[in-house]
């Protein structure tokens, strides 16, 4: 398919003459760099407190994320709410300044000089999560789609022609151009958002939850449309989604994000059908539950992404990992070790509620409280040093000394998952996990 609309010579928004369809390297020359290269991207927000608003810490929303997107390639970025996906998109596009790392767009560094940022913005479009809030209710669908053209100085007649072509391309009729957002269905609004995103002939489109809140059949239509447009315009796409099925359908490769970091990346089928990281396994297998007290059923996720102002040490996923590696010689299973970790996390956060335990124990007798605490967390009763350390920690906890109890657990129940931060290596299908790979 050829590009259906080439803006006239000399008009703003012209297609980049250097772009080649297909994205392969110049014949006989070196392979061209991927369109988007993100290396060690960071976004840390300051945490301030006290009357003087001194900086007392950082929210590490994005903490060293690297990936590449080839020309005409779709990369999916998946992870639960709060894992940092939107912040990656916004810092990558320099809608927010990154606090570290580099971005290259079509071979040019972005951010070191205004040129890179300008070029990136000129050739990038974003489709926002919620078209109801991104479409101005006072503008017709046609006016909304024409907005980027108006800002770039296109004449009215050119705008009308371009919007007519774009609407046809995204499956909307001429009649839809004069409708206001409230007169359009959810799927039609997405199509208007997509038409607007394509208005200036971008090379790269970022889609933030492009099919959220749509019926499954409409979702499929929108994903099919995006696939057709990608092929027709040789678009590079970054799909942000917490929905694994969307990414499976739409993306060549997928990167999995957890607590500000990538934990796995690779070709979509390899990552989703044969995940190497327990977090990906859980995402691919289960619908996450927001109930933190729901326990740790095999392979599923409970609780939420940890506070990025205070991420867990070692592997950030260890506090929720269904496959966490138990300490050597402890005799614990992953689930039993997980229960001990749950207690340590709650102790460290001051979340062990002695009043609640008192109600459960029907009194304040320390032995009854200890039994209630063990039952509440489903704690194991290991032999030897581990058992003695856990019993002492439980005693500290029911005596109200949470810090001492947490320290005891930390010292007695070490494991690589708790101690060491796993790195994501470079490669085709990579994962950051201490579990041995076969
Ligand atoms: N301006 C900010 N100041 C402080 N913290 C922030 C700011 N923006 C985002 N965060 C925090 O950064 C973390 C990542 O947020 P982000 O919105 O990028 O996650 P997400 O994966 O896109 O989630 P969602 O799917 O809900 O949009 C969250 O803990 C969020 O509270």
Which tens digit of pLDDT belongs to each residue from 44-75? 999 888 877 887 889 999 999 999 999 999 99
**CA pair distance 25, 298, nearest whole angstrom:** 46
For position 98, what pLDDT does the model report?
94
Region 220-247: mean pLDDT is 93
CB-based contacts of 27, cutoff 8 Å, min separation 6: none
User: 33: how many CB neighbours lie within 10 A of its CB?
Assistant: 16
Kind and range of the H or E element at 189?
helix 186-198
For position 55, what pLDDT does the model report?
79
* 74 within 8 A of 230, measured Cβ to Cβ: yes
**CA pair distance 131, 207, nearest whole angstrom:** 12
- Which residue has its alpha carbon closest to ligand 1 atom 30? 82
CB-based contacts of 42, cutoff 8 Å, min separation 6: 60, 62, 63, 64, 65, 98, 99, 100, 101
Which of the listed residues 44, 58, 87 should we mutate to test ligand 1's pocket, taking the one with most ligand atoms within 8 A of CB? Answer: 87
* 188 CA distance to ligand 1 middle (Å): 28
Q: 41-45, 107-111, 238-242 — which is least confidently predicted?
A: 107-111
- Where do the CATH 3.40.50.300 domains begin and end in the chain? 36-263
Residue 8 has pLDDT above 80, yes or no: no
Closest CA to 200 of 12, 2, 1, 9: 12
Q: Which atom of ligand 1 is nearest to the CA of 89?
A: 18
Q: 118-132, 145-159, 264-278 — which is least confidently predicted?
A: 118-132
Which tens digit of pLDDT belongs to each residue from 351-374? 888 888 888 777 778 888 999 999
Q: What is the mean pLDDT of the chain?
A: 86
Band the pLDDT of 156: cuts 50, 70, 90: very high
In the numeric block, the tokens 């977090």 are attached to 279
Region 161-177: mean pLDDT is 94
Structure tokens at 96: 């927010």
Q: Give the global pTM.
A: 0.86
**CA pair distance 388, 335, nearest whole angstrom:** 19
**CA pair distance 228, 195, nearest whole angstrom:** 13
Radius of gyration of the chain (CA): 26
Closest CA to 335 of 319, 322, 320, 318: 322
**CA pair distance 34, 43, nearest whole angstrom:** 23
Residues in the chain, total: 438
Choose the CATH number for 36-263 among 3.90.1300.10, 3.30.360.10, 3.90.226.10, 3.40.50.300: 3.40.50.300
Residue 7 has pLDDT above 50, yes or no: no
Residues having CB within 6 Å of any atom of ligand 1: 45, 59, 61, 79, 81-87, 242, 308
Q: At what angle do helices 354-361 and 366-377 cross, to 10 degrees?
A: 100
- Which residue has its alpha carbon closest to ligand 1 atom 17? 86
In the numeric block, the tokens 């709410």 are attached to 81
Structure tokens at 28: 């006989």
Band the pLDDT of 12: cuts 50, 70, 90: very low
Bridge partners (DSSP) listed for residue 204 = 124, 236
- Distant-in-sequence contacts of 409-413, Cβ < 8 A, 24+ apart: 409/340, 409/343, 409/344, 409/347, 410/344, 412/327, 412/385, 412/386, 413/327, 413/330, 413/337, 413/340, 413/341, 413/344, 413/386, 413/389
Band the pLDDT of 4: cuts 50, 70, 90: very low
Which of the listed residues 58, 59, 129, 316 should we mutate to test ligand 1's pocket, taking the one with most ligand atoms within 8 A of CB? Answer: 59
Residue 100 has pLDDT above 70, yes or no: yes
* 246 within 8 A of 219, measured Cβ to Cβ: yes
Residue 438 has pLDDT above 70, yes or no: no
User: 185: how many CB neighbours lie within 10 A of its CB?
Assistant: 11
Structure tokens at 343: 């207690």
Which tens digit of pLDDT belongs to each residue from 274-310? 999 999 999 988 644 444 444 444 456 777 889 999 9
For position 362, what pLDDT does the model report?
75
Q: What is the DSSP letter of 14?
A: P
Specify whether the backbone of 101 is left (phi greater than 0), alpha (psi in -120 to 50) or beta: left
* 206 CA distance to ligand 1 middle (Å): 17
For position 71, what pLDDT does the model report?
94
Region 96-116: mean pLDDT is 86
Band the pLDDT of 27: cuts 50, 70, 90: very low
Which tops the pLDDT comparison, 134 or 320?
Answer: 320
């Amino acid at each position: 398919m050829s590009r259906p609309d080439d803006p006239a010579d000399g008009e703003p928004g012209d297609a980049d003459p250097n772009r080649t369809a297909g994205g392969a390297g110049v014949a006989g020359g070196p392979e061209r760099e991927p369109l988007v290269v993100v290396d060690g991207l960071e976004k840390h927000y300051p945490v301030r407190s006290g009357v003087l608003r001194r900086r007392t810490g950082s929210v590490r929303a994005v903490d060293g994320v690297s990936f590449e997107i080839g020309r005409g390639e779709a990369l999916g970025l998946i992870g639960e709410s709060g894992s940092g996906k939107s912040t990656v998109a916004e810092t990558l596009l320099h809608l927010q300044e990154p606090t570290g790392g580099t971005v290259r767009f079509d071979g040019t560094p972005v951010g070191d000089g205004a040129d890179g940022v300008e070029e990136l913005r000129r050739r990038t479009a974003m489709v926002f999560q919620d078209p109801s809030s991104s479409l101005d209710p006072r503008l017709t669908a046609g006016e909304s789609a024409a907005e980027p053209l108006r800002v770039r100085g296109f004449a009215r007649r050119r705008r009308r022609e371009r919007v007519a072509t774009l609407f046809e391309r995204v499956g909307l009729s001429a009649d839809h151009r004069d409708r206001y957002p409230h007169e359009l269905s959810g799927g039609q609004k997405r199509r208007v958002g997509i038409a607007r995103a394509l208005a200036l002939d971008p090379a790269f489109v970022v889609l933030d939850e492009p099919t959220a809140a749509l019926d499954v059949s409409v979702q499929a239509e929108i994903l099919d449309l995006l696939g057709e447009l990608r092929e027709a315009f040789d678009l590079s796409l970054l799909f942000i989604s917490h929905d694994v099925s969307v990414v499976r359908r739409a993306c060549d490769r997928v990167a999995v994000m957890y607590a500000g970091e990538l934990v796995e990346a690779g070709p979509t089928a390899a990552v989703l059908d044969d995940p190497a990281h327990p977090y990906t396994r859980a995402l691919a297998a289960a619908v996450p539950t927001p109930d933190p007290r729901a326990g740790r059923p095999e392979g599923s996720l409970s609780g939420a992404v940890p506070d990025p102002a205070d991420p867990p040490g070692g592997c950030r996923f260890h506090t929720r990992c269904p496959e966490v590696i138990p300490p050597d010689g402890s005799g614990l299973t992953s689930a039993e070790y997980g229960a001990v970790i749950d207690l340590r996390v709650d102790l460290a956060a001051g979340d062990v509620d002695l009043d609640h335990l008192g109600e459960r124990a029907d009194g304040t007798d320390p032995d009854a409280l200890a039994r209630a605490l063990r039952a509440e967390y489903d704690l194991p009763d290991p032999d030897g040093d581990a058992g003695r350390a856990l019993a002492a920690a439980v005693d500290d906890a029911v005596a109200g000394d949470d810090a001492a109890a947490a320290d005891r657990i930390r010292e007695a129940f070490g494991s690589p998952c708790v101690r060491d931060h796993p790195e994501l290596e470079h490669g085709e299908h990579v994962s950051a996990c201490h579990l041995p790979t076969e």
